[in-house]
Structure 1
Amino acid sequence: MLIDAHCHLDFEDFDDDREAVFARAREAGVGHFVVPGTTRSHWPRVIELAGRDDVSLNLGLHPYFMDEHDDGDVEALASLLDEHPETVAVGECGIDARFEETLEAQWRLFDAQLRIAKERKLPVVVHCVHANDKIAKRLKQLDLPAGGLIHAFAGSPEQAVKFLDLGFVLGLGGATTHERAKRLHRAVASLPDEGYVLETDSPDMPLAGFQGQRNEPARVAMVAERIAELRSQAVGEVAEQSTANARRLFGIEE
């Protein structure tokens, strides 16, 4: 069985055919889905989805949606985590350095969520765009007890080692299927077996050949094929190892 370790199945993109999306994923061998929260307004949708046996819950405040976050959202997040002990991680949180105008506020929000995760001994799911080195430095300073996931990792082998040394695993998805991503390919090939999970970031981050189309969890199987190729391993070995890694990180039972 494969696990999609990061997919936004609560998004409106799936409202018309969500059950069909789950069915296609199961047909492709994907049996579990980790769904991250992004905004306070969407938390109820994520919590509702997590009522399914095959969905695990993350709750967090995403840096892309800074204009949707309010001052009280951090306190609300802490309270909701206490109400929902089934939550397996804090996230999606992090830094998106493409948006310089909100960068200072992003760091404040990120730090607040990191502290919440540390207090509750939960892993964090980190959105990291053009900020690998700075985020690695901050994570080292905080010394989080449960590590976490660097979602959609697209860095160098050297940056990968920094995160691995901090107890994090790397999320590998659609970016690995693009031929121009040579640096990422080298990083993927260099990872230890316990250093990665597979993800789609559905509906975003389409695979090569699917640009402009909605992404969905069934394509984790295609990601597994690409990772196997890059690592010179059997697809079954990649599937087994990535699933074991996701179970370990998020506490997903078999």
Structure 2
Amino acid sequence: MTLRLYDTHCHLTWREGADPAALQLQRARAAGVAGLVCVATDLDSARACRALAREHGDVLASAGIHPNDVGKDPGAVREPLARLAALLQEGGYAAVGETGLDFYRDWTPPELQREAFRVHLELAHRHQLPVIIHCRDAAAAVLEELRALQRPVRGVMHCYSEGPEPLLQFLELGLHISFAGNVTYPKAERIRASARLVPADRLLVETDAPFLAPQPVRGKRNEPAYIAHTTQELAAIRGAPAGQVAEVTFENARALFG
């Protein structure tokens, strides 16, 4: 039985060594992918994602600047964020992001990451769009920024890789939780423990393509067609039929992203 699948986070416009997006979409559809979100990491990819979404009815686009792409110069941060605001004002986007905090790398100073994250959160609220949140070695800081809003947050913790304790706090704030191919890795017990705890109505699945190919195809360049592997692993982790997990995550994605 072919599952009906929704990839909530992929980078189809990431061109280095990639097959054309149209070819990847063809393979994805053959594998049962009926919808996906093409996620931006900078202004150029935001435009490319929107163009792809306008060409393909089963593709949605996001607009955002990844925390590692914000830059190191305080004086140069505000201008790209103003251009991001203008892009969102033009329309054609289903989400804001990828934004958030990444303290694993030192490509962008933490305070500049925080400043950019706050702008993204405000833009998402202004345009009534969900926010796609990247969090790496920064759970406490992300929670601090979200709590400062003093309102529920509509969005998703993408590629969730933290443990159960911050997970419960993200859920309390109203967020969805999305799992990527790394939940299938042999040493990913902490991620699997979190996957067991997410309520069914907050669960999402993604590829984060071209990164994090699931275990059965690990080492290959990831793409949306491989999302069935992650969906099946999530089902096994949660003790549920794969078809049920596929359908629940599909409907959750449609409810969140439209």
The TM-score by the shorter chain falls in which range?
Answer: over 0.9
Change (3 A) 1:30 1:142: same
1:78 and 2:81 matched: no
The TM-score with structure 2 as length reference comes to 0.91
What is the total number of aligned residue pairs between the two structures? 250
Alignment partner, residue 232 of structure 1: 239
Maintained 8 Å contact 2:152/2:173: no
The root-mean-square deviation of aligned C-alpha atoms, in Å, is 1.7
Gap runs ≥5 in structure 2: none
Distance 2:216 2:5 in 1: 22
Aligned to 2:101: 95
Shift of 1:232: 0.2
Q: Check the 8 A contact 2:101/2:135 in 1, yes or no.
A: yes
- Alignment counterpart, residue 128 of structure 1, candidates 120, 123, 135: 135
Give the equivalent residue in structure 1 for 2:58: 54
Distance 1:135 1:242, change over 3 A: same
Does the aligned pair in 2 maintain the 1:60–1:92 contact within 8 Å?
yes
The residue number in structure 2 matching 1:5 is: 8
Q: Which runs of 4+ in 1 moved over 6 A?
A: none
Q: 2:155 aligned to 123, 148, 155, which one? A: 148
Q: Within 1, Cα distance between the matches of 2:86 and 2:239?
A: 45
Contact between 1:96 and 1:128, CA under 8 Å: does it hold in 2? yes
User: Residues 143 and 240 from structure 1, CA distance in 2 versus in 1: closer, same or farther, beyond 3 angstroms?
Assistant: farther
Alignment gaps of 5+ in structure 1: none
1:212 to 1:223, Cα distance in 2 relative to 1, 3 A: same
1:185 paired residue number: 192
TM-score (norm 1): 0.92
Displacement after TM superposition at 1:33 (Å): 1.1
Residue 19 of structure 1 deviates from its aligned partner by 2.1
Q: Which residue in 2 is equivalent to 1:216?
A: 223
2:47 equivalent among 44, 47, 51: 44
